[in-house]
Amino acid sequence: MMIPSIGFEPRNFGKLGMVGVIEIGRKILEIGQIIVGVAVMWGIFFIISPLAVVDKIKNKFRKRR
């Protein structure tokens, strides 16, 4: 059973049927994994950077006193 890796023309879609749907599903999952990975990286960055900023602000207040 051949599974095409690229190109989903409408005329071929009928022939592919479930195989095409599964392949598109895999593509979406792959893209989804990349998006999730990037989102996690940004999430970590946004969690760490405010903490660093809070530490800087705390240090400023300590210096004033």
Mean pLDDT by 10 residues, the chain (65 residues): 53 63 86 90 84 84 76
pTM of the model: 0.40
3-state secondary structure 14-63: HHHCHHHHHHHHHHHHHHHHHHHHHHHHHHHHHHHHHHHHHHHHHHHHHH
pLDDT of 1: 46
